[in-house]
Amino acid sequence: MPISVEEVFETVKMTLDHHFDIRTVTLGVNLKDCMDRNVTRLCGRIKQRIIEKGKLLNRFADETENKYGIPITNRRISVTPVALLLEPLPQQKKAAVQIAKALDYAAKKADIDFVGGFGAMVQKGMTKADENLIDAIPEALSKTERVCGFLNLASTSAGMNVNAVVKIGKKLKELARLTKNGIGCAKIAVFANVPEDNPFMAGAHHGIGESDFALNIGISGPGVVRDVVVKNPDCDLTQLSEVIKRTVFKITRAGELIGREMAKLMNVEFGIVDISLASTTSAGDSVAEIVEAMGVKSMGLPGSTAAIALLMDAVKKGGAMASGNVGGLSGTFIPVSEDSGMIRAVRAGTLSLEKLEALTAVCSVGLDMFAVPGNTSADVLSAIIADELSIGIINNKTTSVRVIPVPGKKAGSIVHFGGLLGSAPVMKTPQITSSKFVRRKGRIPAPIQALRN
């Protein structure tokens, strides 16, 4: 059956009017074979590989974008967790910082906007190299522009490494002090159950179970989903789930096609399509506005959690039907600073940190891009992280935290980060510390997997 005029225009409208784009093509790059006892030699190999592959990635992304008329907004690279590369090196902070600088240099040379993977898997324990990497985070991320970091601090099978949670609380404070408005903290996400093939920054890395290269795609269509919800103002919720499913099917198919084509052009394996709805600050490209279009008066009010749960389930069903390669995070991002509806809800007082945490239990990848007062203590940050990661551990899902303690700012003020990162209202955060709890340290044991009521 030939494609009808209506079908053609449905696709065209998605990109022209509703911000449908391929949010990112992320090339996963194995660096394990670059390891050396000499950091300069290691960095030389890293630079060579990333510059070569990064340039190719940009070239083929431009070609594919022109062919299919769907914008490919970001071209990124994720690498083997850097803590692994540190293992054979002398355990000094400067080696970790040097690697971060090499990654940054290569990204600039290849015109790649972010390189992810400056991180470690420490859910159960930390090697000397892991500790070294975490110690280097403030300097590495403040002295580079394009390097992103991640830490996996917890998993359902290992429990939570509270020693590392306490350590990163302090490092986040340091990093915030070293960068304007604490923006360096936007470049690091900490996780429970981190996926090894996530294409989205800041948490992307090329996991140790991956092959030499993998081409991963992140699609994004909050505007498209919002449009179908707006066009169905009176249908019941079962029907609403159906129309969302159908729309997500279509955009996932576009992502799959483009991913496969890019992988073929680059002569690498096609990895996954991440079907996460990823908002931008553009008007209408907001997950909060989808919830509001469903009928919740403002994001964060009662009804929001149920609405997000329905939305996410429909997204997953539509996406899973469209592609056998759905992977990565495939949740819904609800970043406070990058979503105009979320910003509005925080300013209107309908969305609190506590409700945000509840929302992440049914959908998203976690507490993302939220600003807290600069005087929030490291222990409070660690306790917020511990709470959020517990949701991931117990529910067998990924959760993450990307928190920005903004130096000198108080709750209620607005911080402008600029560009893709948007602006964030500083959220009210309890200042009474739970130091005694987190400073007990140790490991929260892995949860029981039976008796699930």
Which residue ranges make up the site for other proteins (CB under 8 A)? 1, 3, 5, 7-12, 15-16, 62-63, 66-70, 250-251, 253-254, 256-257
Which CB sits closer to other proteins, 14 or 393? 14
Task: List CB contacts of 425: < 8 A, sequence separation 6 or more.
Answer: 336, 343, 346, 347, 371, 412, 413, 414, 415
Least distance from C-beta 61 to other proteins, angstroms? Answer: 13
Q: Using CA atoms, how far apart are residues 246 and 7, in angstroms rounded to an integer?
A: 13
Q: Using CA atoms, how far apart are residues 268 and 108, in angstroms rounded to an integer?
A: 23
Residues in the chain: 453
Q: Using CA atoms, how far apart are residues 68 and 58, in angstroms rounded to an integer?
A: 16
What token pair was written down for 29? 């790059």
Which CB sits closer to other proteins, 142 or 323? 323
Least distance from C-beta 135 to other proteins, angstroms? Answer: 47
Contact in structure between 217 and 272 (CB atoms under 8 Å): yes
Q: Is 347 helix (H, G, I), strand (E, B) or coil?
A: helix
Residue 175 has phi, psi (to 5 degrees) of: -60, -40
Residue given tokens 């069903």 in the structure block: 317
Q: What is the helix (H) or strand (E) element at residue 231, kind and residue range?
A: helix 222-231
Which CB sits closer to other proteins, 7 or 111? 7
Which CB sits closer to other proteins, 69 or 445? 69
Least distance from C-beta 15 to other proteins, angstroms? Answer: 8
Which CB sits closer to other proteins, 4 or 453? 4
Least distance from C-beta 249 to other proteins, angstroms? Answer: 8
Q: H helices within 267-377, ranges in order?
A: 287-294, 304-322, 340-348, 353-360
Instruction: List b or e across 276-294, with b for residues whose CB sees 16 or more CB atoms inside 10 angstroms.
Output: bbbbbbeebbbbbbbbbbb
Which CB sits closer to other proteins, 140 or 254? 254
Residue given tokens 């993302």 in the structure block: 368
Least distance from C-beta 294 to other proteins, angstroms? Answer: 24
Least distance from C-beta 262 to other proteins, angstroms? Answer: 13
Closest C-alpha among 56, 184, 69, 175 to residue 109? 56
Least distance from C-beta 138 to other proteins, angstroms? Answer: 43
Residue 364 has phi, psi (to 5 degrees) of: -90, -175
Which CB sits closer to other proteins, 69 or 88? 69
Which CB sits closer to other proteins, 109 or 253? 253
Least distance from C-beta 318 to other proteins, angstroms? Answer: 12
